[in-house]
Structure 1
């Protein structure tokens, strides 16, 4: 072997070592994490032996809070409607719907929107109406929302206008203004924003017109939700292994108190926990996890949602719902936690 060849091989060895497929992920040191226990759980989704349950949305029955409903996705099959005891009220075969959100639009009814990724190149927003009397969903139609694989979705009501933010898997976010006045829904893309890498969870604080989006391996971002607003994001929380351990997944808001009061909660999927931020100043306030108890812990949580206020005797101050990615020996489901228990654990 010549000296030149020997030197060349010696120079290449560090590069080969640096590309090792077995290189370990960096060690994380999460911030202190409180523990709470679930007060209930839903029946498991029907799709067994698969990552299937994904995202919940809560409808609060103001006249009878204990009769409130949960709409949740089996992303392999369709949409479930549960009561607060976790019992299945109905199921709609809607195909591969990933994330879900809803808004009570008064005369137009309770509108449910789900990200439809049956066609992974041409994403759709699937729209439904929830009937609280029969506890069933009626399909209204689908609206095109751009190109790419449909992932996250969240609704934004501004006056009488309803818009949907559709998070495409590659980090593109389209804002679609919806028209529900006709026989079938229509939509118009009014704005497009972009994060650099794979993103999913999102939520809007309609009081402050702020959109929050989770970029899975990067962290949490904030946008102006208004169609005329700036499209430049503001970084809130980093997926640095301290506040959030990657992936950064579901996002929800507990709107309380003043015009910008309350908290934002994000799923720290990498260590089975949830990070909490104060809405008024974006400051980090703590972390919690759902520990083992009568209904079990949660692991690898994707979607989350929270409703504040009275939800009946089991959840008098509000209810937090989290997807459970490991629910053996049954299929995946959703765990129900009292918001009061979380606040107490974090000293809020």
Structure 2
């Protein structure tokens, strides 16, 4: 064998011998899920991604969960985990919802999702959710972000309550390059359209986002860096660091789904998926203090791992979830396809000694 043939073998052996650093695995309390959804229809793939919760105030046990199969469309589940509806709507990645008031005074549930079907043309897919039947219906439109953003891929998504007269809600699309585009959702000739307003840009790939309507604050997860806080009141969107990857904030990249909830004392909490060590971090939203970490541990419904999207809502959701509901995507639900796990927030609060 000549020297020219030996050199590549030596280089390959040297590369193979370089150890990979173990990922951090920070302490966390164990909490068991109390339910799970049926698996999404796309098997043997990373498909389930992000949930949203609609709380039925009149009959909390009949509340609904909306979840994405990012290869196929949008599911609606009951709290029993059974499928109420499915819409084959393409590659919908992240989802959120708000109850809105139309110009005729009608109250409806508006569901929005980031549409990745065309990776070069970022879009918002919009639906109406019927809280009684659990069925989804199209709004007759898809809101396109302005052409100046193309080519770009719609990735993360979240919504906020209306912030000005004439709006139904605000929508935030996180493009894969770290740009977050804010649009207002309005009625126009019997349809719902998105009108672009402004942007904020992060340095690297970002996805998870959530808006705290009470304080008017947008939180964004930059996957390899941490969480950013963006006040929505100023004319210009400016981000400040909220929490970073590593200690003392207890986040292991990727930082993925974000959710806002309230504790028993009325304090606002920010919950984040610390995907890199299969855990969830809970922060005080006002001062970014880390209040605790937990994992969804093995039990009747299984553990979670590699969680992308999460949602947490306070309130009564019936006997199984009397003081809040958490829904978390499960990246490994083998032997079945991926799904979403349901957790009693009361159990999380007890494990972390929250009010």
> Shared fold by TM > 0.5?
yes
2:213 corresponds to: 206
Correspondent of 1:344 among 325, 342, 350: 350
Q: What does 1:248-259 correspond to in 2, within 5 Å?
A: 248-256=255-263
1:234 corresponds to: 240
Are 1:43 and 1:333, in contact at CA under 8 Å, matched by a contact in 2?
Answer: yes
SS at match of 2:75: strand
1:80 and 2:75 aligned: yes
1:150 corresponds to: 154
2:254 corresponds to: 247
1:102 corresponds to: 97
Q: What does 1:173-322 correspond to in 2, within 5 Å?
A: 173-226=180-233, 228-240=234-246, 243-256=250-263, 261-322=267-328
* Number of aligned residue pairs: 330
SS at match of 2:300: coil
Taking the aligned partners of 1:83 and 1:65, their CA distance within structure 2 comes to 11
SS at match of 1:337: strand
Unmatched 5+ stretches in structure 1: 1-15
Are 2:23 and 2:276, in contact at CA under 8 Å, matched by a contact in 1?
Answer: no
Unmatched 5+ stretches in structure 2: 1-10
- C-alpha deviation, 1:262, in angstroms: 2.4
Deviations 1:264-310 (A, max 9, x none): 10000011100110112211111100000000000000000011100
- C-alpha deviation, 1:82, in angstroms: 0.2
- C-alpha deviation, 1:239, in angstroms: 1.4
Are 2:23 and 2:277, in contact at CA under 8 Å, matched by a contact in 1?
Answer: no
Give me the TM-score of the superposition, normalised by structure 1. 0.90
- C-alpha deviation, 1:54, in angstroms: 0.3
Are 1:158 and 1:206, in contact at CA under 8 Å, matched by a contact in 2?
Answer: no
Give me the TM-score of the superposition, normalised by structure 2. 0.89
Taking the aligned partners of 2:18 and 2:201, their CA distance within structure 1 comes to 30
Are 2:26 and 2:277, in contact at CA under 8 Å, matched by a contact in 1?
Answer: no
Are 1:211 and 1:225, in contact at CA under 8 Å, matched by a contact in 2?
Answer: yes
Taking the aligned partners of 1:241 and 1:322, their CA distance within structure 2 comes to 23
Q: What does 1:130-141 correspond to in 2, within 5 Å?
A: 130-140=129-139, 141=141
Taking the aligned partners of 1:125 and 1:24, their CA distance within structure 2 comes to 43
| CA pair 46-22 structure 1, distance change in 2 beyond 3 A | farther
Taking the aligned partners of 1:22 and 1:121, their CA distance within structure 2 comes to 40
Taking the aligned partners of 1:119 and 1:24, their CA distance within structure 2 comes to 39
| CA pair 194-262 structure 1, distance change in 2 beyond 3 A | same
Deviations 1:308-330 (A, max 9, x none): 10000000001000000000000
Taking the aligned partners of 1:185 and 1:21, their CA distance within structure 2 comes to 55
1:325 corresponds to: 331
Are 1:322 and 1:336, in contact at CA under 8 Å, matched by a contact in 2?
Answer: yes
Which range moved further: 150-159 or 110-119?
Answer: 150-159
- C-alpha deviation, 1:238, in angstroms: 1.1
- C-alpha deviation, 1:158, in angstroms: 3.2
Taking the aligned partners of 2:247 and 2:306, their CA distance within structure 1 comes to 15
Which range moved further: 242-251 or 209-218?
Answer: 242-251
